[in-house]
Amino acid sequence: MPVPWSAIRLAVMVMAVLGRFGATRVEPAVLFDASELDGPGPPADAIDVQFRAPLSFSLLVDGLLAAGRDLDAGTCFRVYERAIDKSVASLQFAGGYVVDDNGDSAPARLELTALGESGIPGFAEVRMHHHIWVGATAETLDDGVRRPLDQRRLARGIKNVAAGDFLSELRQVSEQMLGVRWGSPQLGASLQIVEPPVHEQLAGRELGVCPSPWGARTIWEQPTPDELEWEARDVAQLAARGRTRPSRGKVLDY
């Protein structure tokens, strides 16, 4: 009996974009082997940076699987793998720092392991997401000494760079490979798939947070609870004023 797509975990991705510009554009080290699901998993002090796809993308995959369109669903998984690659590279570039002996940020080679999954315990539908576990220490690039991770710099890099790069890659590649179109369903709302109109199925559904195969560590989910709360408040306030039409400037139409 074939394994259902919803139970398949995506390939482990630990890649970074190499380049001459930016001291932190280096290949990250591997934190642990995520292919060994019976193994110890990430260290207890690792941070689980959890990127969650917009809910409409998960519902698109779920609908394709329900319709028996496994080949199209497989294309969705390949799209998501591209987005995983991008997020890992961006996280190393924007958040690859340790705290040096003077208390300053110093460029470092992070220890990372990424794992993509299509399901979350307790949810019957697909929930596309991936984990990037970040080690608590890293190798300083200047002298090779292991030092504590600069968590403030990491959090800032995720918020300002990596989270946006992940979503941009997912949207652009899905439009190219799947022919979907993204837009804002209503003013104040984040971008979702509007063609086909998957966004119409969002009401009453949640993103969920995954404990991972090895149990929860410290989790930094993206988008954050505060971001989701702010978006819901903005949408409600604009709707109360009778402003529900999406901004044409937000619609991606390549």
pLDDT confidence of residue 239: 63
Output the six-digit token pair for 219.
């989790």
Q: What is the pLDDT of residues 49-78, one digit of tens each?
A: 999 999 999 999 999 999 999 999 999 999
Q: What is the average per-residue pLDDT within 165-177?
A: 97
Output the six-digit token pair for 64.
């394709």
Mean pLDDT (the chain, rounded): 85
Beta strands in the chain (DSSP E): 29-30, 47-52, 97-99, 105-109, 111-117, 129-134, 137-140, 146-148, 181-183, 192-195, 218-222
Q: How far apart are CA 214 and CA 30, in angstroms?
A: 17
* Per-residue pLDDT at 14 exceeds 60: no
Beta strands in 65-109 (DSSP E): 97-99, 105-109
Q: What is the pLDDT of residues 196-251, one digit of tens each?
A: 999 888 888 888 999 988 988 899 999 988 888 887 777 677 666 654 454 333 33
Q: What pTM, to 2 d.p., does this model score? A: 0.84
Q: What angle do CA 66, 213, 41 make, to 5 degrees?
A: 145
Q: How far apart are CA 161 and CA 130, in angstroms?
A: 17
CA-based nearest residue to 149, from 93, 99, 87, 94 = 99
Output the six-digit token pair for 251.
């619609």
Helix (H) or strand (E) holding 232: helix 225-240
Q: What is the pLDDT of residues 21-44, one digit of tens each?
A: 378 999 999 999 998 888 899 999
Q: What is the pLDDT of residues 89-99, one digit of tens each?
A: 999 999 999 99
